[in-house]
């Protein structure tokens, strides 16, 4: 027994000695500038139409996302994380400008998103997160879907990105054949080929492939990201990796196809997850783990009419296009062992907050000449202090449908989408839900909570008092569209 204690003590000494030597090697092997002076690299991985319930760490039974699950486990998994709009173009504008799309005209009641014949895009006076980070010397890349204007002046390389590789809008655009099964809303993936969509693939502002081969697009986006990281590891970098998928039509590479028990939709999500794993692996092999923050989220909720080709909002109500929670609440995963204090976070956050958060970490001020809708989440991410954000504005087009303040969400207008979840209805007094008690928005608790409704109405009043709607950038198209 005595000898056991001695052996234990000895082993502990050796272990401590070993760890001490290793740690001293580590701090020696990197120049100090890389260690401390340099702000973190940022990688935002943005999925398309992926719902709140589409990752295994958010409760999906058959879509297995071990790499995103690991990010959530080692980092922070946010459960009240929102995007700026329930559809593509405005949501992306919101993330990249830190501003509600109503302010910069990137939302409209005429067209919900930009189309291949749209004339406009993100106004030049808007400051993108890439333009912002360039002030701090970052090298910047947009890889993947853009959807903020495909004419040259609107493309990423004219909006602060040093590098662009991707499809400039949605992967279901530029149809070259009639949908073999009839109208758009009957679109099923079974009979579709990548050749049916004549979408261009750009490098910079040049078309390098048309139609883009969508079978391999997901893995090519991940590969481009990895190659960008390797080439730019010596200076701070920002990568905005916006996958075109799992937006319909769904395509997966030969390696990914048939891998998921969830079917093709699962194959696609798992291929994205596989790329996430490769990116994390690259950060490790390049010695960037301690100095990089990776964020994962999606642009809006699942596109429900497409049956199993669409995803799931989990326990949230409705999906893409709607101001119910399923339209705008998304997985929000923050990973970065050098910065992020692990755990579950139930505080409110928004994709718009990345602007202020990254700016603060990079040591640059956010613009003072315009209204920003961006909060610095740094203290929450780094020290688990309460989130500075206490509210969410839910716009549909240019109309404010709902507002969340703290635990409560008031719907002034409810409206389903794609024939589900009810017709447009205005509510006065508003319908009120306690979202933390009732995430599925089942029980109207307006009665008896007039004070809370009053607080939300006051919040909205203040919000509207400083609101100058931007000129509608989505309305004008080459062809007349009803």
What is the set of active-site residues?
Answer: 88, 147
CB of 224 to a second copy, least distance (A): 29
CB of 297 to a second copy, least distance (A): 15
287 forms part of the interface with a second copy (CB under 8 A): no
Q: Which of 42, 58, 165, 238 binds a second copy (CB under 8 A)?
A: 58
Ranges within 399-418 binding a second copy (CB under 8 A): 407
CB of 189 to a second copy, least distance (A): 12
CB of 408 to a second copy, least distance (A): 12
Radius of gyration in angstroms for the set of CA atoms belonging to the chain, rounded to a whole number = 23
Q: Which of 44, 47, 50, 64 binds a second copy (CB under 8 A)?
A: 64
Going by C-beta distance under 8 Å and a sequence separation of 6 or more, which residues neighbour residue 111?
A: 118, 474, 475, 477, 481
- Is the separation of the CB atoms in 238 and 160 below 8 Å? no
Ranges within 215-274 binding a second copy (CB under 8 A): 261-263, 265
CA dist 357 and 362 (Å) reads 9
Q: Which of 7, 110, 181, 385 binds a second copy (CB under 8 A)?
A: 7
Task: Say what angle helices 88-97 and 353-362 make with each other, to 10 degrees.
Answer: 30
Ranges within 354-383 binding a second copy (CB under 8 A): none
307 forms part of the interface with a second copy (CB under 8 A): yes
CB of 328 to a second copy, least distance (A): 14
- Is the separation of the CB atoms in 305 and 416 below 8 Å? no
Q: Which stretch binds a second copy (CB under 8 A): 55-63, 207-215, 277-285, 358-366?
A: 55-63
Q: Which of 37, 206, 344, 468 binds a second copy (CB under 8 A)?
A: 344
CA dist 124 and 135 (Å) reads 17
349 forms part of the interface with a second copy (CB under 8 A): no
468 forms part of the interface with a second copy (CB under 8 A): no
Q: Which stretch binds a second copy (CB under 8 A): 22-30, 88-96, 233-241, 394-402?
A: 22-30
Q: Which of 73, 119, 203, 341 binds a second copy (CB under 8 A)?
A: 73
Q: Which stretch binds a second copy (CB under 8 A): 90-98, 152-160, 208-216, 311-319?
A: 311-319
Nearer to a second copy, 204 or 406 (CB): 406
The pattern of x and - marking residues 417 through 456 that bind a second copy according to CB under 8 A reads -----------------x-xxxxx-xx-------------
Q: Which of 18, 182, 258, 422 binds a second copy (CB under 8 A)?
A: 18
Ranges within 169-198 binding a second copy (CB under 8 A): none
29 forms part of the interface with a second copy (CB under 8 A): yes
Residue ranges in contact with a second copy by CB under 8 A: 4, 7-8, 10-15, 17-22, 24-25, 28-29, 52-53, 56-62, 64, 66, 73, 79-80, 261-263, 265, 307-308, 312-315, 344, 346, 407, 434, 436-440, 442-443
């Amino acid at each position: 027994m005595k000898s056991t204690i001695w052996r234990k003590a000895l082993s502990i000494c050796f272990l401590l000695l070993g760890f001490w030597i290793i740690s001293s090697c580590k701090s020696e092997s990197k120049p100090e500038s890389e260690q401390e002076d340099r702000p973190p690299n940022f990688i935002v991985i943005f999925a398309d139409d992926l719902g709140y319930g589409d990752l295994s760490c958010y409760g999906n039974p058959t879509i297995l996302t071990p790499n995103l699950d690991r990010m959530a486990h080692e980092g922070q998994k946010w459960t009240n994380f929102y995007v700026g709009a329930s559809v593509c173009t405005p949501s992306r504008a919101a993330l990249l400008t830190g501003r509600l799309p109503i302010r910069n005209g990137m939302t409209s009641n005429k067209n919900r998103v930009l189309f291949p014949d749209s004339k406009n895009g993100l106004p030049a006076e808007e400051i993108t997160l890439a333009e912002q980070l360039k002030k701090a010397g970052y090298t910047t890349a947009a890889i993947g879907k853009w959807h903020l204007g495909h004419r040259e002046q609107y493309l990423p390389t004219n909006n602060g990105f040093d590098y662009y590789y991707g499809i400039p809008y949605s992967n279901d655009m530029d149809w070259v054949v009639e949908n073999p099964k009839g109208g758009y809303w009957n679109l099923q993936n079974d009979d579709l080929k990548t050749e049916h969509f004549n979408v261009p693939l750009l490098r910079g502002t040049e078309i390098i492939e048309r139609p883009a081969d969508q079978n391999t697009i997901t893995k090519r986006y991940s590969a481009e990201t990895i190659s960008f990281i390797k080439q730019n590891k010596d200076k701070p970098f920002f990568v905005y990796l916006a996958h075109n998928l799992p937006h319909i039509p769904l395509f997966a590479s030969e390696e990914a196809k048939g891998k998921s028990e969830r079917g093709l939709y699962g194959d696609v999500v798992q291929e994205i997850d596989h790329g996430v794993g490769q990116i994390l692996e690259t950060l490790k092999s390049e010695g960037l783990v301690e100095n990089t923050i990776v964020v994962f989220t999606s642009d809006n909720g699942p596109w429900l009419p497409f049956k199993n080709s669409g995803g799931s909002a989990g326990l949230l109500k409705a999906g893409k296009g709607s101001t119910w929670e399923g339209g705008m609440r998304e997985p929000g995963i923050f990973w970065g062992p050098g910065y992020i204090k692990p755990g579950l976070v139930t505080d409110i956050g928004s994709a718009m907050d990345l602007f202020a958060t990254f700016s603060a970490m990079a040591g640059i001020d956010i613009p003072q000449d315009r209204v920003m809708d961006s909060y610095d989440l740094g203290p929450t991410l780094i020290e688990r202090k309460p989130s500075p954000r206490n509210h969410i504005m839910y716009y549909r087009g240019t109309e404010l449908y709902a507002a969340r303040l703290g635990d409560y969400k008031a719907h002034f207008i409810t409206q389903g989408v794609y024939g589900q979840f009810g017709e447009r209805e205005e509510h006065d007094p508003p319908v009120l839900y306690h979202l933390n008690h009732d995430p599925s928005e089942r029980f109207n608790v307006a009665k008896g909570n007039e004070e809370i409704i009053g607080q939300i109405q006051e919040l909205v009043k203040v919000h509207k008092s400083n609101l100058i709607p931007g000129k509608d950038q989505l309305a004008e198209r080459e062809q007349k569209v009803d």
